Copies of this chain bind each other. A is one copy, B any other.
Amino acid sequence: MRRSERLVLLSKYLYEHPNEVISLNHFTEKFGAAKSSISEDLNIIKNAFLQTGQGEVTTISGAGGGACFRVKRPKEEILDFLEKLCKILSDEKRIIPGGYIYMTDIIFSPSYSSWLGEIFAQMFIDKDPTCVLTVETKGIPIALMTARALNVPLVVARRDSRVTEGPSVNISFVSGSSKTIHNMSLPKRALPENARVLIVDDFMKGGGTALGMSDLLEEFKAEVIGTAVLVATGSPQEKLIKEYTSLLILNEIDAQKGIIDIVVNTGSIDNI
């Protein structure tokens, strides 16, 4: 196999296995090439990503050497993406009677959810999460794509416990906005001990759901390393949880004037 072809397959393999250290041996066997050739290939890949800021390859040299690909995008590109997203979401056709905004198509879209998941991964990868937690249903796509980019398992809390999942831990929590009581359940075997958890969800109003997830994690003696949501409402400004990050802020929906005021939370990606 020629170097050029090997580079194509190596790049694809790394991209398919984000945040995973892959040994040189794995590649030498896979491609029937010498370690020195693979090392040179990896350096070319590293430089290509470095030049464009599109991903980051770390190489580990020596006998146990290997390479690790991390999802990464330049800050301007992320800002640009989020601004386009705000424009799409502020279309007045998205206003639902009752003062809601229709976002389901965006949230369930594989291309948007993978972009958003990669942004969350980039924001929290240095905190070394060992799993991502969300609650059904609309948080799942973004949380799954975040977990994919971080190469960690996704854990999904259910609204009620299921017979098909064995013993579970159940908690009640109060919705921060409607003040109604809800349940949340997680199978006992779903979370390993000492988990470092990134909480991901699509939307936050009062923060009750995020607080519920955080309470649930306490029962598992897990540590919350961050809480990330796609959209948080501007009001109430005080949420039930103190520390969270939202990519977008929904300031207002004026159904009569047909205005959705949603903006990028530029502060959230400051330290990217």
Interface residues, chain A, CB within 8 Å of chain B?
1, 3-9, 11-12, 15-16, 44-45, 47-49, 51-52, 54-55, 96-98, 100-102, 104-105, 108-111, 113-114, 136-137, 140-141, 144-145, 147-148, 151, 153-156, 158, 163-166, 187, 189-190
CB distance from A192 to the nearest CB of B (A): 10
- Contact (A108, B48) CB under 8 Å given A4-B4, A166-B102: no
What copy number does this chain have within its complex? 2
Set of chain B residues within 8 Å of A145, measured between Cβ atoms: 110
- Considering the chains assembled together, what is the distance between the CA atoms of A54 and B1 in angstroms? 14
- Considering the chains assembled together, what is the distance between the CA atoms of A196 and B186 in angstroms? 35
Q: List 19 additional A-B contacts (Cβ < 8 Å) besides A5-B44, A9-B49, A110-B154.
A: A1-B48, A5-B51, A7-B8, A8-B11, A8-B49, A11-B15, A98-B163, A101-B164, A104-B187, A108-B144, A108-B156, A110-B144, A110-B153, A111-B151, A137-B137, A140-B140, A140-B141, A140-B144, A144-B144
Set of chain B residues within 8 Å of A108, measured between Cβ atoms: 144, 153-156
Kindly report which residue of chain B lies nearest to residue A137, judged by CB atoms: B136
